[in-house]
Amino acid sequence: MKDIIILGIETSCDETSAAVVKNGRHVISNIISSQVDLHKKYGGVVPEIASRKHVELILPVINQALEEAGIKADQVDAIGVTYGPGLVGALLVGLSAAKALAFALDKPLVGVHHIAGHISANYLENKELEPPYICLVVSGGHSEIVHVKDYNTFETLGQTRDDAAGEAFDKIARALGLGYPGGPLIDKTARTGNSSAVNFPRVHFNDGSLDFSFSGLKTAVLNYLNTLEQKNESFSIGDVAASFQQAVVDILVENTIKAAKSTGIKNIALAGGVAANSLLRAQMKAAATENGFNMYYPSPVLCTDNAAMIACAAYYEFIRGKTSDLTLNAIPGLKLGEN
């Protein structure tokens, strides 16, 4: 059978990325140009700056991905691109580049849902993983438990009712003066502290839902810090980071295991930037093993935004004949399952 080569493009937030993936699962190149240093001084992503930087970087990044893969643009079988959800100005840059290439090269265009991309990152290194499985998707903008029924069929079983897990990590890191992006800094700082030093709240809903809520936890941590500050008392940054991280991870693991048990599905996967968290990976693995489930996760570089995951998701759309036309537009609030 002839190999299918997909060029993937991702610009939904602050990473400009292009990748070449063979037959959906084999990464040939994956170039990720992060703008983190640019946004750091503002404590978060500034959409206008992100769009401008994407414009500057998109063509060099695509060229580098093709060069590293040792192929010419006209050797790709299709072009996969994130068209939502994300920052509209940022999405438009990658989408316009993808449409222009598809038109100029007369190649099929495949629009990809960003979260479907994150989920697909699991296929790149776990060659044996196939649907169905339960995937916990936790990123800067999303926290949801997804039943991956097939490569292109998703059912959301639970989701955050307020902040995303990554957003909570970023806000608490800022309050602790750790910097941006907060997730990796909390992960690192937590190793120096005691995770049972402060008992922060874990929100459970009594309607049996698998939803999450992190805003109460965030407020509890901020109140804790403010109270100590007013009393002029010192605290251990390590203890607060570790106790906060433990509260987030406990609830993420608990609800994911519950979802697997209630559906009778034996495979669990992690996806999204927060899936790079070392405690989440270890605790989910332990809970999965204890309950007889298999556990999968991508390596950290494939957890955060990258185009290889987009090319992988595009492959599974492309082989079932689903392509997009050149009227494809960016949809900032695109829902999973709508694409």
Least Å distance between CB 275 and ligand KG4? 8
- With CB under 6 A as the contact rule, the residue among 16, 35, 304, 339 that binds ligand KG4 is 304
Q: Applying CB under 6 A, does 211 fall inside the site for ligand KG4?
A: no
- With CB under 6 A as the contact rule, the residue among 117, 131, 183, 298 that binds ligand KG4 is 183
Q: Which is nearer to Zn ion, 221 or 331 (CB)?
A: 331
Residues found in the chain: 339
**Angle ∠(253,256,257) on CA atoms, nearest 5:** 85
Q: Helix, strand or coil for residue 191?
A: coil
Q: Which is nearer to ligand KG4, 66 or 178 (CB)?
A: 178
Q: Which residue do the tokens 């839902």 mark?
A: 209
Cα(234)–Cα(230) distance, integer angstroms: 10
- Enumerate residues 18-57 that contact ligand KG4 by CB under 6 A: none
Cα(38)–Cα(53) distance, integer angstroms: 9
**Piece of the chain touching ligand KG4 by CB under 6 A; list 65-73, 124-132, 176-184, 212-220:** 176-184
Q: Which is nearer to ligand KG4, 5 or 213 (CB)?
A: 213
Cα(29)–Cα(113) distance, integer angstroms: 21
Q: Applying CB under 6 A, does 139 fall inside the site for ligand KG4?
A: yes
**Piece of the chain touching ligand KG4 by CB under 6 A; list 67-75, 181-189, 207-215, 256-264:** 181-189
Name residues whose C-beta falls within 8 Å of residue 316's C-beta, 6 or more positions apart in sequence: 24, 120, 151, 152
Cα(218)–Cα(121) distance, integer angstroms: 29
Supply the Cα-derived Rg of the chain in whole angstroms.
Answer: 20
Q: Applying CB under 6 A, does 181 fall inside the site for ligand KG4?
A: yes
Least Å distance between CB 262 and ligand KG4? 26
- Enumerate residues 114-133 that contact ligand KG4 by CB under 6 A: none
Q: Which residues bind ligand KG4 (CB under 6 A)?
A: 13, 139-141, 166, 169-170, 181-184, 187, 272-274, 276-277, 304-305
